[in-house]
């Protein structure tokens, strides 16, 4: 009773200290997380020798767990749930441990391993629990992750391989189990004598040579007692007693079982081992035909079975496993609902995006159609202006006195219009749209109308002959065989038109004009060259 009050005082002090530290941490999340970790570590240290949970300790864990939840740190929640769940697991309170390990397991699945607090420890403890209630595949999964996180020279490396061996043995894969037990034995040989002893004990189970198995278990017991691990010594004695029972060495078996029971009976969390010890002792009593011992052992076994029904017996394990399956099924239903909701949200989002795309497409099409319409109107205005200027120019020339000077003015206006038309046509050539092609064709047609036609040429030549008769007569006399196209170049050159202007009026390129002049020089030589210096009076 005195010990109980001292423990209660310690817990209250720890709780007040924890709450005070968190509340005065000035809002620092990192500081608050550190305090939670410290308080759980203190509680673990204070309960290291407990064999049954105390209400005040459970209350203390619940308070720290509440503080951890308020901090909303996934890594802290995983670590806290793992440590509290393991507290109950060590005391064989599987039903109380289950909710904590379910939460920690979900957290491990949802968060990257590297973000966990002490990830190897969390994975190992979760593996112990789930392996104990029959989910050996999940235990192997956690242990396989944990072994990658620890140093190969550490005792944890041997511990994880030992646990993997146990899980593979439970799965019926004895070959893999032996491999891991051997790894554990070799890794622990010079670093962890107790783990080395445990590995020897497990390897002894697979040893067909009973003498060798006996030797290995005796070494296991010796090393365990030498290093103060009475629990493993008890476990090894039970296994060695089984060998002695099989060999009908009743006295040796009884001595081992008595020592094992003396340790197990003092700890309520070892009731399962006490059941195994009592069962073996009953087999010895039956073989020895000791009826009084049989009766007493039957009664004791019934008492043990009743205790196990409330702690870690087969019924409790089955019940916890059933609760685990229900929790997972419920979790699967929630996940399906979340996925369905996400699918609905995604569908709505996609429909919204499609609707917006349609609206944007309609808007862009209308904008494009409006732009095309404006462009077409602008084009029609340009064409109309060109046609109007053409009509004005022709009308002006027709009404004026038809002289070379008025014709030069007419040609100059026509040249300006042709130059502007060429610029617009050149711009339209850069576009490959059907509309641009139609517009270009229409402008080219209009351009043809601005060129010097046969009618215009005939009028121009007549006027030129009237005003420059001597020049015209000299050209036709000296440049024998001159063609109509060459004559046009000579007469337009006389009026001072440059190559570009002549090219525009005649509808050819400047290179064509240059080549035509070269041919004239080649054909007529000095007769053509002297035309520039020929002085002829204008009539």
Residues 366-413 have pLDDT tens digits of: 877 777 677 666 666 766 665 666 566 556 555 545 666 776 776 677
Whether the per-residue pLDDT at 124 is higher than 90: the answer is: yes
Tell me, rounded to whole angstroms, the distance of Cα 536 from its chain centroid: 91
Q: Is the pLDDT of residue 421 over 50?
A: yes
522: number of Cβ within 10 Å: 9
pLDDT digits (tens, 9 = 90+) for 493-535: 887 888 888 887 777 888 998 998 898 888 888 888 888 776 6
Residues 359-363 have a mean pLDDT of 81
* pLDDT-derived band at 452, boundaries 50, 70, 90: low
Cβ pair 167, 139 in contact under 8 A: yes
Q: Are 262 and 292 in contact (CB under 8 A)?
A: no
CB 490, CB 519: distance < 8 Å: no
Radius of gyration of the chain (CA): 54
- Single out the residue of 238, 285, 243 nearest to residue 264, CA to CA: 238
Q: What value does the mean pLDDT of the chain take? A: 78
For the chain, the first-to-last Cα distance in angstroms comes to 147
Cβ proximity of 97 and 53 under 8 Å: no
Report the range of poorest mean pLDDT among 288-297, 390-399, 411-420, 431-440. Answer: 390-399
pLDDT of 140 over the 90 cut: yes
Residue 375 and residue 128: Cα distance in Å, rounded? 79
Portion of the chain with pLDDT greater than 70, in percent: 72
Question: What is d(CA 211, CA 460) in angstroms, rounded to the nearest whole number?
Answer: 135
* DSSP letters spanning 200-267: HHHHHHT-S-HHHHHHHHHHHHHHHHHTT-HHHHHHHHHHHHHHHHHTT-HHHHHHHHHHHHHHHTT-
Which two tokens mark 319?
């019940």
Kindly state the tokens that stand for 472: 């015209």
Give the residue-averaged pLDDT of 245-272.
Answer: 84
Q: Is the dihedral of CA 469, 475, 480, 481 positive or negative?
A: negative
pLDDT at 359 (0 to 100) = 81
Write down the pLDDT at residue 5.
43
Task: Note the maximum CA span of the chain.
Answer: 163
Structure tokens, 355? 């609707």
SS3 category, 518: helix
67 CB neighbour count, 10 Å cutoff: 22
pLDDT band at 473 (very low <50, low <70, confident <90, very high): confident
**Which of these, 407, 396, 492, 505, lies nearest to 447 by C-alpha position?**
505
Six-digit token pair at 310?
Answer: 């409330």
pLDDT, tens digit, 9 for 90 and up, residues 164-189: 999 998 999 989 998 998 988 888 88
In sequence order, the 6+-apart residues with CB closer than 8 A to the CB of 174 are 168, 206
Average pLDDT value for residue range 149-170: 90
In this prediction, residue 539 has a pLDDT band, given cuts at 50, 70 and 90, of low
- Residue 34: which residues within 8 A CB-CB, separation 6 or more? none
């Amino acid at each position: 009773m005195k010990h109980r009050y001292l423990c209660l005082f310690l817990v209250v002090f720890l709780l007040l200290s924890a709450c005070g530290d968190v509340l005065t941490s000035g809002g620092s999340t990192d500081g608050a997380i550190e305090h939670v970790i410290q308080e759980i570590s203190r509680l673990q240290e204070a309960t290291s020798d407990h064999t049954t949970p105390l209400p005040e300790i459970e209350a203390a864990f619940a308070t720290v767990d509440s503080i951890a939840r308020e901090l909303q740190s996934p890594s802290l929640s995983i670590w806290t749930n793992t440590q509290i769940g393991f507290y109950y697991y060590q005391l064989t309170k599987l039903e109380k441990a289950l909710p904590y390990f379910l939460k920690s397991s979900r957290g491990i699945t949802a968060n990257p391993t590297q973000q966990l607090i002490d990830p190897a420890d969390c994975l190992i403890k979760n593996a112990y629990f789930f392996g104990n209630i029959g989910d050996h595949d999940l235990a192997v999964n956690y242990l396989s992750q944990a072994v990658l996180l620890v140093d190969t020279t550490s005792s944890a490396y041997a511990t994880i391989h030992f646990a993997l061996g146990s899980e593979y043995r439970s799965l019926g894969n004895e070959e893999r189990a032996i491999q891991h037990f051997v790894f554990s034995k070799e890794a622990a040989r010079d670093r962890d004598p107790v783990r080395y002893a445990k590995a020897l004990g497990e390897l002894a189970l697979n040893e067909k040579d009973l003498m060798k198995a006996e030797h290995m278990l005796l070494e296991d017991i010796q090393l365990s007692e030498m290093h103060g691990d009475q629990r493993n010594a008890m476990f090894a004695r039970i296994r060695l007693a089984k060998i002695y029972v099989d060999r009908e060495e009743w006295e040796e078996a009884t001595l081992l079982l008595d020592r094992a029971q003396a340790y197990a009976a003092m700890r309520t969390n070892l009731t399962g081992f006490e059941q195994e010890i009592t069962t073996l002792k009953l087999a010895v009593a039956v073989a020895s035909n000791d009826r009084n011992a049989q009766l007493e052992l039957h009664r004791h076994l019934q008492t043990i079975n009743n205790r196990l029904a409330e702690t870690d017996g087969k019924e409790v394990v089955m019940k916890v496993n059933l609760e685990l399956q229900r929790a997972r099924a419920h979790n699967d239903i929630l996940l399906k609902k979340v996925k369905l909701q996400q699918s609905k949200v995604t569908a709505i989002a996609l429909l919204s995006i499609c609707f917006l795309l349609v609206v944007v497409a309609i808007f862009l099409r209308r904008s494009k159609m409006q732009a095309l319409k404006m462009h077409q109107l602008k084009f029609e205005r340009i064409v109309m202006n060109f046609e109007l200027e053409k009509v004005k120019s022709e009308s002006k020339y027709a009404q004026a006195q038809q002289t070379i000077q008025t014709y030069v003015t007419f040609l100059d206006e026509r040249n300006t219009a042709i130059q502007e038309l060429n610029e617009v046509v050149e711009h339209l050539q850069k576009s490959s749209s059907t509309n641009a092609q139609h517009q270009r064709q229409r402008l080219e047609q209009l351009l043809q109308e601005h060129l010097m036609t046969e009618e215009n040429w005939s009028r121009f030549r007549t006027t030129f002959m009237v005003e420059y008769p001597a020049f015209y007569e000299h050209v036709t006399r000296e440049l024998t065989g001159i063609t109509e196209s060459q004559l046009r170049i000579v007469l337009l050159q006389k009026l001072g038109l440059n190559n570009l202007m002549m090219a525009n009026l005649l509808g050819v390129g400047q290179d064509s004009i240059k080549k035509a002049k070269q041919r004239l020089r080649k054909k007529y030589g000095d007769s053509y060259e002297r035309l520039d210096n020929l002085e002829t009076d204008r009539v």
